[in-house]
Amino acid sequence: MDPATALALREPDAAVSLPIHKPLPPQHFVDHGTNAEMRWDVPHGPGDTPASRLFVRNHTETPLLDAATYTLLVHGDGLRRAAVITLDDLRALPVTRMACAHECTGNGRSYFATQQGREAPGTPWHLGSIGQVTWEGVRLAEVLERLGLRDDAVDVMATGLDPSYVDDDGVDNGPVRRPLPIAKALDDTLLAWGMNGEPLLPDHGFPLRLVVPGWVGVASIKWLGSLEVATRPLESPWNTKWYRMTGGDFPDDAPPLTLNPVRSVWELPEPASLPAEGGTVLHGRSWSGAGAVAKVEVSVNGGATWSIARLDPPGAAWTTWRFRWPGATPGGHVLMARATDVAGRTQPQDAAWNDEGYLFDAVVRHPVRVG
């Protein structure tokens, strides 16, 4: 059977599909229907985000797949040979464990409206569609090289086994899929079957998903069904229609989104209540798709003055920090935090407007009431 026919015959082994399967207790999550956001006012510590607490971003519903019958089709003219690979086949290869930040492209979208006065469509995330995960799996490069990767290979198209996404215009766009440049595929991209020492949860891609460190979350395709390796550029709606910067000052030919920006968050309710007396230690964390955070500056007076926050030892993906609140007069105040990463990128005062509300990276104004 040729690979194209095999791909056409494949169907998800889904006994049940629900938007989200794992519990979403309101003290830990903001429920957005098909999506769920982690709450920052109940922090989980400086290390990995427990799978039970990690945000969920679905385009449709979470399928329930059978690991015992699961296979991954790897094919395309960029390979010497195609293969249908089982989980046992993958587990027999050298195992890699990798900790990285995992983040939705729309993280922070709600602040376009509340801070910049222009509402963007889509899930109104605050800053809770982010987590640090230690993934376990095999490097994609290991698989491609064993199948005979051609020197002229250009792109790898990852396709999920989720239900087809029908947009607001009634167009059936098929399952979520997005191409990946071969350079990134061979660098640090992972085929992952585990997270934080446990199997993937269904909502996070069980039994196998792609993980593309540092890049926008949509690149890390869940419920991975196939990989096409091609000697030509590949396209899908998820890199031509969506997940590109459109509108605002962006040109019509802006490229598909890749690297995530640098962001910061206070581990506090929004708004928060704080005591008037000084000495309270406030906590937060910052992260960047480009690597470690080098510096965090904080303000407790709406940006009038800034101080350097004390960084904890660098984490695997994000950096936690602390600041001793000096006390303030009773009433309303605004906390702010801005980070600079090792690539020299610093959070701006305003995020670049775009039609879909992607990559809000501006300094967030966090309201507090003292007294």
In a domain, 249, yes or no: no
In a domain, 198, yes or no: yes
Same-domain status, 53 and 111: yes
In a domain, 126, yes or no: yes
In a domain, 246, yes or no: no
> What is the number of alpha carbons within 13 Å of residue 131 lying toward its C-beta?
24
Range of the domain at 353: 262-370
> What is the number of alpha carbons within 13 Å of residue 296 lying toward its C-beta?
27
Same-domain status, 184 and 280: no
Find where tokens 């926050």 sit. 309
Taking 60 as the threshold, does the pLDDT of residue 3 lie above it? no
- φ/ψ bin of 131: left (φ > 0), alpha (ψ from -120 to 50), beta (otherwise): beta
Same-domain status, 28 and 167: yes
Instruction: Determine how β-strand 262-266 pairs with β-strand 280-288.
Output: antiparallel
Same-domain status, 98 and 192: yes
Same-domain status, 290 and 351: yes
Find where tokens 């007069």 sit. 329
Same-domain status, 110 and 220: yes
The CATH number for 146's domain is 3.90.420.10
Taking 80 as the threshold, does the pLDDT of residue 8 lie above it? no
Helix (H) or strand (E) holding 36: strand 35-38
Taking 60 as the threshold, does the pLDDT of residue 35 lie above it? yes
Say what percent of the chain tops pLDDT 70: 95
Task: Kindly report whether the global pTM for this prediction surpasses the value 0.75.
Answer: yes
Taking 60 as the threshold, does the pLDDT of residue 49 lie above it? yes
Same-domain status, 156 and 14: yes
Over residues 166-180, the mean pLDDT reads 96
112-126: per-residue pLDDT in tens? Answer: 999 999 999 999 999
Same-domain status, 213 and 343: no
Same-domain status, 12 and 82: yes
Give the whole-angstrom CA distance, residue 162 versus residue 205.
9
Same-domain status, 59 and 205: yes
280-307: per-residue pLDDT in tens? Answer: 899 999 999 999 999 999 999 999 999 9
Helix (H) or strand (E) holding 139: strand 130-139
Over residues 256-277, the mean pLDDT reads 94
Residue 49 and residue 38 in contact, taking contact as beta carbons nearer than 8 Å:
yes
In a domain, 248, yes or no: no
The CATH number for 348's domain is 2.60.40.650
Say what percent of the chain tops pLDDT 90: 87
Over residues 130-159, the mean pLDDT reads 98
Same-domain status, 352 and 310: yes
**pLDDT-derived band at 10, boundaries 50, 70, 90:** very low
Taking 90 as the threshold, does the pLDDT of residue 14 lie above it? no
Q: What is the total count of domains within the chain?
A: 2
**pLDDT-derived band at 46, boundaries 50, 70, 90:** confident
Give the pLDDT confidence score for residue 17 in this predicted structure: 57
Name the average pLDDT for the chain: 93
Taking 80 as the threshold, does the pLDDT of residue 16 lie above it? no
Same-domain status, 155 and 73: yes
39 or 5: which leads in pLDDT: 39
Q: Which of 208, 240, 272 is the last residue of a domain?
A: 240
